[in-house]
Amino acid sequence: MENVKCDLLVIGAGSGGLSVASGAAQMGADVILLEGAEMGGDCLNSGCVPSKALLAAAARAASRAKGTDMGIAPATAEVDFAAVKDHVADVIAQIAPHDSVERFEGLGVKVITEYGRFTGPRTVEAGGQSITARRVVVATGSRPLVPPIDGLDRVPFETNETIFDLRERPKHLLILGGGPIGMEMAQAHRRLGCEVTVIEGQKALGRDDGEAAALVIEALRGEGVTIAEGAMAEAVSGKAGAIEVTSKDGRRFAGTHLLVALGRVPNLDRLDLDKAGIETARGGITVDARLRTSNKKVYAIGDIVAGGMQFTHVAGYHAGIVIRQAMFGLPAKASTAHIPWATYTDPELAQVGLTEAQAREEHGDKLEVLRADFAGNDRAVAERATAGFAKVMVVKGRPVGATIVGQGAGEQIGFWALALSQNMKISAVAGMVMPYPTRAEVHKRVAGTYFTPRLFDNKAVTWAVRTIQRWLP
């Protein structure tokens, strides 16, 4: 077996691993990258990229049926489901070179297309080589959770890893799970001509702001998606083309295809973490605030971090935290307070920081909730897309969370993510000038509502203005 040494060994070529490897290599470190599956990981091949490509096609189809309120005659979209999947595959193919072996080797990274396993605290075996590194970054990502539901092992089903390969349109798609993946796929497939039923054990979009989630759920139901809440799946039966799900309360749901979207589980099985002295908890790797494992020479980032946020952009953020430490020896700590997330339904739902319910529980009477509806935004009115609102949670003049639901919410939440990351005062937001007419004006309006009672319903201010007016020339 060949013995190899390097400064930094990265295990996993998903979003986080690629960011660490490229950054470290371009700074002059000797980097080895291991990936036994596909470069780009889940996000490129079966997650963010294909799902958004599918949603884009579905939105194009849905737009054909709209427009009567603008004087445009609606038309029925002719959907070629196989061609839609060709579009999805083409989008992946266009982005793939950026994550390819060739590109990373061009950056100076040694790429080994094999899985790795620890044989010691800083030693990993892969592809007939024993690699010893000064620092190791574990970034192996996650895979779909397949729970032990009775009969599920005997019935054909899809996950996000297989759903994009379907070439024939499902007649009736059953979806287990009403989280972001389930709801996005529900709307996309409904708009592409499928009957869709979402089966959710608790509340759909239950981790999001309840008021905002209700608006999204109402929109999907309005498009013909059946959403059954409080329907904990107990058993699955049938065969390809005729599948039935039975919930614990006795409800039965019949369809032709089944998508399991019930969460994610970290990819840790192959790693032999115990041989490196790396502790796990709650199905993930235990890390400190600096993302170091119990073995201080090994970092863990992204979906595999126990109790962490499973988003591509979090893995990228983690990569920056690790690079600062591994390359420059500078202490850096990860935080989640300013991390945004979005569900790309129509309307979109985006959040950063605390939801209203979380903020009320944490801050009590100190909390002020600011709100502005898109119905009062001129651009939204002009586009006949006024559903939704922006809500900001403020404590002592500083935002601690923001919720946006409506068209383009995922693009707009970045503004409030910046505000939280920089600990900005709400007055700084109120003082900005936005171009007119834009949807983003709603955020200046939200901030302005913080000062409305302080200026217009304040007797002291009224007295001061009247007094000053008497003395002004």
| Span between the terminal Cα atoms of the chain, in Å | 91
Task: Of 287, 324, 322, 289, give the one whose Cα is nearest residue 304.
Answer: 287
Higher-pLDDT residue of 65 and 277 is 277
Burial 402-441 (b: 16+ CB within 10 A, else e): bbbbbbbbbebbebbbebbeeebbbeebbeeeeeeebbbb
285 marked as part of a ligand binding site: no
Task: Of 89, 87, 20, give the one whose Cα is nearest residue 58.
Answer: 87
233 in the same domain as 185 = yes
Q: Is residue 85 part of a domain?
A: no
180 marked as part of a ligand binding site: yes
Question: Is 465 a residue whose pLDDT tops 70?
Answer: no
Instruction: Find out whether 181 and 48 touch, Cβ atoms under 8 Å.
Output: no
272 marked as part of a ligand binding site: no
179 marked as part of a ligand binding site: yes
- What pTM value is reported for the model? 0.93
346 marked as part of a ligand binding site: no
181 marked as part of a ligand binding site: yes
Question: Is 473 a residue whose pLDDT tops 70?
Answer: yes
Please give the mean pLDDT across all residues of the chain: 93
What value does the mean pLDDT take over residues 172-182? 97
Instruction: Find out whether 221 and 183 touch, Cβ atoms under 8 Å.
Output: no
Q: What is the CATH number of the domain that holds 289?
A: 3.50.50.60
200 marked as part of a ligand binding site: yes
Question: Is 460 a residue whose pLDDT tops 90?
Answer: no
Residue 322 belongs to domain spanning: 2-39+100-144+265-328
141 marked as part of a ligand binding site: yes
* Residue 311: pLDDT band with limits 50, 70, 90: confident
What is the total residue count of the chain? 473
Q: Tell me whether residue 262 is exposed, middle or buried, using C-beta atoms within 10 angstroms of its C-beta: 0 to 12, 13 to 18, 19 or more.
A: buried
201 marked as part of a ligand binding site: no
pLDDT value of residue 469: 77
273 in the same domain as 258 = no
392 in the same domain as 356 = yes
Enter the tokens of residue 444. 């200046």
Q: Is residue 117 part of a domain?
A: yes
Task: List phi, psi (to 5°) of 443.
Answer: -75, -35
Integer Cα distance of 442 and 412 in angstroms? 10
Digit-coded pLDDT (tens) for 337-377: 899 999 999 999 999 999 999 999 999 999 999 999 999 99
Quote the percentage of the chain above a pLDDT of 70: 97
Q: Is residue 335 part of a domain?
A: no
Bridge partners, residue 195, by sequence: 172
Digit-coded pLDDT (tens) for 373-418: 999 999 999 999 999 999 999 999 999 999 999 999 999 999 999 9
- The beta strand positions in 117-214, using DSSP E, are 117-120, 123-126, 129-138, 142-144, 172-176, 195-199
252 in the same domain as 271 = no
Q: What is the CATH number of the domain that holds 446?
A: 3.30.390.30
Number of domain units in the chain: 3
Integer Cα distance of 427 and 444 in angstroms? 10
What value does the mean pLDDT take over residues 235-261? 97
pLDDT value of residue 470: 76
129 in the same domain as 195 = no
* Residue 464: pLDDT band with limits 50, 70, 90: low
124 in the same domain as 7 = yes
333 marked as part of a ligand binding site: no
178 marked as part of a ligand binding site: yes
Of 328, 358, 373, the domain-final residue = 328
Task: List phi, psi (to 5°) of 9.
Answer: -110, 125
397 marked as part of a ligand binding site: no
pLDDT value of residue 73: 79
